């Protein structure tokens, strides 16, 4: 081959390389700018953000403070509750048991937990392990979460397993997506029974340890050194204030993990590497086959309608929301507990992962969305959509609309304060088949209500109108005040009551609408 031919080949190769589109690069300085601007627009005490790109940690940093009292700064190792971002850990734990031949994805739940119940015999006998993870049970949104929220109730896994039979389905089995926490607790119980160790011990020894997530914890009670644990804050009722950190659930499979952006970067990297990790990616936490199973749509949901992303599909896998953005697969999940909100987003086609942890509800939700969308848009080379401004305005508007509704209710209560209410007609003990007893009684010459099994649900009952009273719970870490709508007999004596939340923004885990209490005394 002569020199001219070699030169021509070199030129062709050079032109070909130039023709390959260069992927957008985002610098830590740009990420700083995005986060700092978001911190200025949202009423959030502190946050931590990590970005992994092309197999490496590009950025990990804390912003704001761990506590508005101590003013200690957040850093990359500050722990936050990641709430429902724990669900993907549960899915991986089950995948590991599948690979060991201990269980199969299609195993019926009753094979491993004979006392498991459902609302009808067919669903109960055919409910499998994948059904536990995919929010397609037919139960309504957040059904039974009152057994978990607020904290401090005495419900056990045995109660959970027995109570599914009492809920009324809201859709046909495996036809509709409705988010469910309780079924993840059942998944955690399967892990415990089949592995011979608790869900917490399994996650610690089989996932955290090999990945080097040395400062992550499966429950609040595990954290003996709380010096770098963020406090929980809320803006849901009034200004920014510290609230109590949510205590441990029955098990942590639905939302029990506390972690930090440094450790969670390792978690995103093993996900982006299809289960591979370690030096030269020679170690394997889970197989590529099961990675596909977890990142495969099992339940269809509505696709993003924003035309800037040209999205065509959306659904839920095993612990992950799945969709497409500009021709790229997107894998994500959010997490929320009182005072702690988080979001994980990965674009595997771009080898990109983003985690945002915040220590404040309600504004933290707007902020984690604004930050993740802004960073993703830069990598997709889209125009600046002003996500932070848009989310800040939306959060403000949404909160204002809800405040108007709530304030109007309490204005009516105040106007009717002098109405004569025959307290004796309401006093008594009432019982719901799954939630247990609630009692209406007199306290300091005021009508009160309390739950026997969830002690934080107690507060004064005040007349609203007709046979409806409004309860303002003593517990105010979340906005969960509720109407109590009594039924009465021909003599005006209450025979039972139902409930529903007052605020249109009430968290779905306060499923008062699923209660049906009947007088027993």
Nearest one of 140, 195, 185, 142 to 162, comparing CA atoms:
185
Question: What count of other Cβ atoms lies within 10 Å of the Cβ of residue 489?
Answer: 10
Q: Is 5 inside a domain boundary?
A: no
Say what the pLDDT of residue 4 is. 47
What span, in angstroms and rounded, lies between the C-alpha atoms of 363 and 42? 6
**Domain assignment present for 389:** yes
491-505 in b/e form (b: 16+ CB < 10 A) is: eeebebbbbbbbbeb
* Domain co-membership, 127 together with 268: yes
Residues 348 and 449 in one domain: no
Q: Is residue 66 part of a domain?
A: yes
Q: For residues 426 and 377, state if they share a domain.
A: no
Residue 405 included in any domain = no
Cβ–Cβ < 8 Å for 229, 216: no
Look up the CATH number of the domain holding residue 459.
2.40.128.50
Question: Angle at CA 271, nearest 5°, toward 270 and 275?
Answer: 60
Q: Is residue 356 part of a domain?
A: yes
First to last CA, the chain: 101
Q: Are residues 96 and 212 in the same domain?
A: yes
The single-letter DSSP state of residue 359 is S
Same domain, 381 and 462: no
The Cα 8–Cα 73 span in angstroms is 59
What six digits make up the tokens of 135?
Answer: 């929010």
Looking at residue 187, the DSSP 8-state letter turns out to be H
Task: Show the domain range for 87.
Answer: 28-399
> Which string of DSSP letters, residue by residue, matches 345-414?
EEEGGGTEEEEEEESEETHHHHHHHHHHHHHHHHHTT-----HHHHHHHHHHHHHHHHHHHHHHHHHHHH
Candidates 298, 293, 319, 295; CA nearest to 184 is: 319
Distance, CA of 64 to CA of 71 (rounded, Å): 8
- Give me the residues paired with residue 485 across strands: 468, 498
pLDDT tens track of the chain, all 521 residues?
Answer: 444 444 443 344 344 433 444 568 899 999 999 999 999 999 999 999 999 999 999 999 999 999 999 999 999 999 999 999 999 999 999 999 999 999 999 999 999 999 999 999 999 999 999 999 999 999 999 999 999 999 999 999 999 999 999 999 999 999 999 999 999 999 999 999 999 999 999 999 999 999 999 999 999 999 999 999 999 999 988 899 999 999 999 999 999 999 999 999 999 999 999 999 999 999 999 999 999 999 999 999 999 888 999 999 999 999 999 999 999 999 999 999 999 999 999 999 999 999 999 999 999 999 999 999 999 999 999 999 999 999 999 999 999 999 999 999 999 999 999 888 899 999 999 999 999 999 999 999 999 999 999 999 999 999 999 999 999 999 999 999 999 999 999 999 999 999 999 999 999 999 999 999 999 99
371 and 474 within one domain: no
Give the DSSP per-residue string, 103-139. Answer: --TT-BHHHH-TT---SSHHHHHH-BHHHHHTT-SSP
Q: Which of 294, 264, 270 is nearest to 355 (CA)?
A: 264
Quote the Cα angle for 506-510-516, to 5°. 125
Of 399, 426, 444, the residue that ends a domain is 399
- 410 in a domain, yes or no? no
Tokens found for residue 76: 């990359």
Instruction: Indicate whether 395 and 426 sit together in one domain.
Output: no
In three-state secondary structure terms, 485 is strand
Q: What is the largest CA-CA distance in the chain?
A: 109
Of the three residues 399, 430, 463, the one that is the final residue of a domain is: 399
Q: Which two tokens stand for residue 137?
A: 């049970």
CA distance 393 to 159: 42
Residue 400 CB-density burial (10 A; 0-12 exposed, 13-18 middle, 19+ buried): exposed
- Tell me: do 304 and 423 sit in the same domain: no
Alpha carbons 286 and 501: distance in angstroms, whole number: 42
201 and 129 in a single domain? The answer is: yes
Tell me, yes or no, whether 201 and 153 share the same domain. yes
pLDDT at 421: 87
Q: Based on the domain organization, do 426 and 376 belong to the same domain?
A: no
Taking the CA atoms of the chain, what radius of gyration do you get in angstroms?
A: 25
Does any domain span residue 16?
Answer: no
Does one domain contain both 313 and 424?
no
In degrees, rounded to 5, the angle at the alpha carbon of residue 508 between the alpha carbons of residues 42 and 41 is: 5
Q: Parallel, antiparallel, or unpaired for β 232-234 and 360-361?
A: parallel
Please say whether the beta carbons of 494 and 486 come within 8 A: yes
Q: CB atoms < 10 A from the CB of 238, how many?
A: 8
Exposure letters 40-67 (e unless 16+ CB within 10 A, then b) = ebbbbbbbbbbbbbeeebbbbbbbbbbb
* Cβ-contact 499, 511 below 8 angstroms: no
- pLDDT of amino acid 66: 98
409: in domain: no
* CATH number for the domain that contains residue 258: 3.40.710.10
Q: pTM, whole model, 2 decimals? A: 0.95
Q: Say if residues 460 and 446 touch (Cβ distance below 8 Å).
A: yes
Q: How many domains does the chain have?
A: 2
Using the 3D structure, point to which of 351, 366, 399 is the last residue of a domain.
Answer: 399
């Amino acid at each position: 081959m002569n020199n001219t031919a070699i030169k021509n080949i070199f030129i062709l190769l050079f032109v070909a390389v130039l023709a390959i589109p260069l992927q957008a690069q985002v610098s830590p300085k740009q990420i700083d700018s995005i986060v700092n601007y978001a911190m200025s627009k949202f009423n959030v005490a502190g946050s931590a953000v990590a970005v992994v790109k092309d197999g490496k940690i590009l950025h990990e940093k804390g912003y704001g403070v761990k506590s508005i009292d101590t003013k200690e700064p957040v850093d990359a190792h500050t722990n936050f509750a990641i709430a429902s971002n724990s669900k993907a850990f549960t899915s991986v734990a089950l995948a590991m048991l599948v690979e060991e031949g201990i269980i199969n994805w299609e195993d019926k739940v009753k094979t491993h937990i004979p006392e498991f119940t459902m609302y009808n015999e067919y669903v109960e006998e055919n409910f499998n392990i994948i059904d536990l993870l995919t929010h397609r049970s037919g139960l309504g949104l957040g059904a039974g979460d009152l057994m978990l929220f607020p904290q401090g109730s005495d419900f056990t896994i045995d109660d959970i397993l027995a109570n599914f039979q009492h809920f009324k389905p809201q859709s046909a089995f495996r036809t509709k997506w409705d988010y469910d926490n309780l079924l993840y607790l059942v998944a955690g119980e399967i892990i415990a029974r089949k592995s011979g160790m608790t869900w917490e011990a399994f996650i610690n020894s089989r996932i955290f340890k090999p990945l080097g997530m040395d400062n992550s914890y499966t429950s609040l009670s595990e954290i003996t050194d709380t010096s770098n644990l963020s406090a929980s804050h809320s803006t849901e009722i009034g200004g920014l204030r510290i609230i109590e950190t949510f205590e441990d659930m029955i098990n942590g499979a639905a939302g029990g993990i506390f972690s930090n952006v440094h450790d969670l970067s390792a978690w995103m990297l093993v996900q982006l590497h299809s289960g591979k990790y370690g030096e030269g990616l020679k170690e394997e936490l889970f197989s590529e086959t099961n990675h596909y199973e977890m990142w495969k749509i099992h339940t269809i949901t509505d696709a993003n309608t924003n035309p800037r992303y040209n999205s065509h599909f959306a659904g839920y896998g095993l612990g992950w929301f799945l969709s497409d953005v500009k021709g790229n697969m997107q894998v994500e999940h959010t997490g929320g507990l009182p005072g702690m909100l988080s979001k994980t987003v990965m674009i595997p086609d771009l080898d990109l992962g983003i985690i945002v942890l915040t220590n404040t509800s309600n504004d933290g939700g707007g902020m984690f969305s604004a930050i993740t969308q802004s960073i993703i848009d830069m990598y997709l080379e889209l125009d600046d959509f002003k996500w932070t401004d848009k989310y800040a305005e939306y959060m403000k508007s949404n909160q204002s609309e809800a405040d108007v509704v709530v304030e109007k209710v309490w204005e009516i209560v105040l106007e009717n304060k002098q109405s004569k209410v025959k307290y004796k007609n309401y006093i008594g003990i009432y019982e719901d088949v799954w939630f247990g007893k609630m009692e209406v009684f007199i306290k300091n010459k005021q009508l009160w209500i309390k739950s026997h099994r969830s002690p934080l649900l107690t507060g004064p009952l005040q007349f609203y109108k007709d046979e409806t009273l409004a309860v303002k719970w003593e517990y105010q870490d979340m906005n969960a005040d509720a109407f109590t709508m009594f039924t009465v007999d021909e003599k005006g004596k209450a025979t039972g009551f139902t409930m529903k939340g007052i605020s249109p923004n009430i968290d779905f885990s306060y499923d008062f609408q699923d209660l049906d209490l009947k007088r027993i005394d």
